[in-house]
Structure 1
Amino acid sequence: MKNILILLLFTTSLLAQLKPIEVTLNSITHDDSNPKKRTYFITYQIENKTNNAISFFLTPNTLIANAASSMTLFPIYKIYINSEFTPLDGPFFEKYGIDWESFLKKNEGLDKKSLQKLAEETLADYKKANQVIIDNYKNNGGVITEDHWILENDNLMKSKINLNPNEIKTLVIKTSWNKDRYFKQDDLEYYLDEKDKYEFELILDLKKTAFKSQLSNDEFDTIEKDKNFIEGIFTSNRIEINFK
């Protein structure tokens, strides 16, 4: 029995050492200058623990709750209340496409008519930029005709991150909480009590072959054969986050 325990401990230690990257939460700070919401700045780092250059797919500057994280490119977060994990879809949400929250903040002094006009122009510019991506793909010999696939493929390939041997990359996620304390999803209810202790954890669920449908055959073959293109689940340390 003693030998088995020693073997298990050795195996666990060895597996930990073999992980190609380490994710570390450095700090979570916040800004309360807006009375309607609290802005958080989550600083974290990804360290290449190998002597080889590595690559992976990740959209690193936004996040998604663990409860809604299937097939995502975003870092996943978990909230622990008094050391107990809570499968809460919130209080932070991913930002994708046009950041309308930032748009409204930037233009909060405009009257309703001007704001509406600027929003329409912003949306038109966004659609125009997407059309440029589609046209460039088709004009450069792309064979897929579905516009949605072309945009997904472009987004996926732009999410590729490269790390040099032993490189540490420091990143920041800016997100916000609207200060609502009561959450209800399906049959689950939560209340962010000011008296409780809250901890935050970040998870990188890096996928490789799972994105086959969003890649061309050549792209998929190249990535699949690349031993330094990594996948796997990598969990950070936990640090306290303020919901008081």
Structure 2
Amino acid sequence: MKFIICFLFSITAFTQTKPIELKIDSINSTETEDGRREFKLQYHITNLSDKAISFILNTKSLIPIGAGSLNPAVYYKLYENENSIDVSGIFTGERKIRSFKNETELKKYTDSLMNYMKSRTPEQLSQIRKEGFLENIQKLAPKETKYLTAIFAWDKKRYHKNDVIEYYIEEKEKHFFELHINLMAEELLMNFSEEEKKELLKDKVLTKGWFTSNKMEIDLSE
């Protein structure tokens, strides 16, 4: 009897619908004047449940899946046919250039950033962390869909090496792009005190879990 009860429970748990759908809608590319290929990724996140949900996700950041499991960013995974390409650095984010006239001007800028952080009091640094956490709280009403866009580029280099991992992107093979989100709560609150945790969460119940999108072909041909 115990075996039957456990078996039925397993079936029920397995068939439960996930509360979130993560789906890629399109990936379009254009050639840039400096020889790169720029991609425009459009995707969406849908609350499939009948209740409002909240979760922590930095939708402004798109990083390789191997870049760190405790980062609340959107991850991507690249495939060549059915095999994953497990190296980072293939894509770069949307290019934003800050120009400096000389090294003196560059040093002045970097020093100003360092001095800004050094001059902050512990209370001010705590407030900066809190604001960063709150900025990443996403809210979706029942059945609501949030549409998102990310722009990234490929410099058309085919040989890549990370430590001992080497990979060559074949020109004539098909390539696919996949998204992942790892929704966390406790892991992102480790640097806050108990009082700060209560202040940040209040009455919020955060949705947690790992969600994977569909795969979509991406153009890495010549």
User: TM-score band, normalised by the shorter chain?
Assistant: 0.7 to 0.9
TM-score of the superposition, structure 2-length normalised?
0.81
The C-alpha deviation readout for 1:188-223, integer Å capped at 9, x for no partner, is 111111111101110001110101223342342366
Structure ranking higher in helix proportion: 1
Counterpart of 1:206 (choices 183, 192, 197) is 183
What SS does the aligned partner of 1:90 have?
coil
After TM superposition, the structure 1 = structure 2 runs for residues 28-39 of structure 1, keeping only pairs within 5 Å, are 28-39=27-38
Q: How far apart are 1:239 and its partner, in Å?
A: 0.5
The C-alpha deviation readout for 1:74-122, integer Å capped at 9, x for no partner, is 11111111111222213124x6xxx8x3125xx6xxxx628985x6787
1:12 partner letter: F
TM-score of the superposition, structure 1-length normalised?
0.74
Q: 1:224 to 1:154 in 2, by over 3 A?
A: closer
**8 Å CA contact retained: 2:54, 2:204:** no
Counterpart of 1:103 (choices 79, 97, 111) is 97
2:148 partner letter: L
Match of 2:217 in 1: 240
Q: 1:172 to 1:122 in 2, by over 3 A?
A: farther
Match of 1:164 in 2: 141
Match of 1:75 in 2: 74
Counterpart of 1:217 (choices 188, 194, 202) is 194
After TM superposition, the structure 1 = structure 2 runs for residues 6-21 of structure 1, keeping only pairs within 5 Å, are 11-14=13-16, 17=17, 19-21=18-20
Query: Equivalents in 1 of 2:104, 2:30: separation in Å?
Result: 28
Structure 1: unaligned runs, 5 residues or longer: 139-143
Query: Equivalents in 1 of 2:141, 2:171: separation in Å?
Result: 43
**8 Å CA contact retained: 2:130, 2:200:** no
Match of 2:3 in 1: none
Identity of aligned residues (%): 27
Q: 1:92 to 1:116 in 2, by over 3 A?
A: farther
1:189 partner letter: E
Query: Equivalents in 1 of 2:193, 2:184: separation in Å?
Result: 16
Match of 1:53 in 2: 52
Q: 1:165 to 1:115 in 2, by over 3 A?
A: farther
Q: How far apart are 1:242 and its partner, in Å?
A: 0.8
What SS does the aligned partner of 2:73 have?
coil
1:53 partner letter: A
Aligned-CA RMSD value = 3.4
Query: Equivalents in 2 of 1:27, 1:115: separation in Å?
Result: 42
State whether structure 2 residue 167 is matched by structure 1 residue 190. yes
Match of 1:24 in 2: 23
Counterpart of 1:155 (choices 132, 145, 168) is 132
1:61 partner letter: K
**8 Å CA contact retained: 1:31, 1:38:** yes
Structure 1 runs of 4+ aligned residues shifted over 4 Å read 4-11, 114-117, 119-128, 222-227
**Number of matched pairs:** 217
